Amino acid sequence: MKDFVADDVAFSRSIALDASTVDSVTVTVAVPATRTEEWDVLDSLYDAGKSDFRPFLHKANDIQYGSNYGFFETVLRNAPTPILATTHLGRDGSSPERVEAVQSALLVSDLAHSESLVLVDGGETKAEAFTRAIDGIVSDVPPTTHCVSAEQYFPTALLADICASHLAHQIADASDSTTITPAAPESKTEYADRWGKAYSSLIDAREKYERTPVSAKRGRTVRERIRCWYEGHVAVGNGDYPMTDSLTPVMNSAEERGFSQLADQFSEI
């Protein structure tokens, strides 16, 4: 597993972000992980017991929530890395897109690390909104890149996607975020000292998004997206494809690290 590399700077860890809105409830989730820990995340997703769910192909929205509650619950319960979440109950006229940007900024402001690359799921516009929001609450905007359909490229982003969807459904049903595990406290309360600053900055800041120039490639197939993940490439729109879609080095790495189940899964793709 290779680090993310931008010019001569290597990032050995990332913070994957994703959000889900159900009714008026928006939950944003951050998943911090080292590149090594991403193996554990992927293994846990395969181990969640849903045979027709395929990482690097499916997203949370591809699964009907009601009939697959057990899968969502298992993924969340068995997550091998920290899951940080925050909730906005709506009712104030804020758009989910703005809420997601502010919530993402709040979570990352607690997690930013010099060796961490922030992975914003989506296009340049979403990364721009995140940048403006976080500029109001930190001294330096952390290294950031967007990745279109990040859930199909990075297991941590897929984990964030599934957990955000599960928590949003649970909180919308209960109309209460305090009884949910893991904790997903209300953003305006938990971050009372930063919510207004981040929201105002989102609207008023002139800070421009400058993508940290980690390698960018895109995958047309599951095999190509696995190679992008393994090599540390992000999808930013039009761009080159991986030089090869061979999964042999990925399978060998999985075996060397003791993930024989993952090696078997790769061999069947």
Domain residue spans of the chain: 4-260
Tell me the pLDDT tens digit for each residue of 14-63: 999 999 999 999 999 999 999 999 999 999 999 987 778 999 999 999 99
What is the distance in angstroms between the CA of the first residue and the CA of the last residue of the chain? 19
Give burial (CB, 10 Å; 0-12/13-18/19+) of 192.
exposed
pLDDT score, position 251: 97
Task: Give buried/exposed letters for 131-166 (b at 16+ CB in 10 A, else e).
Answer: bbbbbbbeeebbbbbbbbebbbbbbbbbbbbbbbbb
Question: Tell me, which fold does domain 4-260 have in CATH?
Answer: Nucleotidyltransferase; domain 5 (3.30.420)
CA distance 154 to 72: 18
Q: How far is CA 171 from CA 29, 81, 153, 175, 178, in A?
A: 14, 22, 28, 5, 9
DSSP string, the chain: -PPEEETTEEE-EEEEEEEEEETTEEEEEEEEEETTHHHHHHHHHHTTS-TT--TTT--GGGS-TGGGHHHHHHHHHT-SS--EEEEE---S---HHHHHHHHHHHHHHTT--TTEEEEEES-HHHHHHHHHHHHTTSSSPPPEEEETTGGGT-HHHHHHHHHHHHHHHHHHHHT-STT-SS---BHHHHTTTTHHHHHHHHHH--PPP----B-B---SSHHHHHHHHHHT-B--SS----S----HHHHHHHHHTT-HHHHHHHHT-
Record the pTM: 0.96
Do 80 and 40 meet the contact criterion of CB atoms below 8 Å apart?
Answer: yes
Tell me the pLDDT tens digit for each residue of 146-188: 999 999 999 999 999 999 999 999 999 887 777 787 789 999 9
Tell me the pLDDT tens digit for each residue of 183-240: 899 999 999 999 999 999 999 988 899 999 999 999 999 999 999 999 999 999 887 9
Q: How confident is the model at residue 254 (pLDDT cuts 50, 70, 90)?
A: very high
pLDDT score, position 113: 67
CA distance 54 to 152: 9
Length, in residues, of the chain: 269
Chain mean position to CA 208: 22
pLDDT at 114 over 70: no
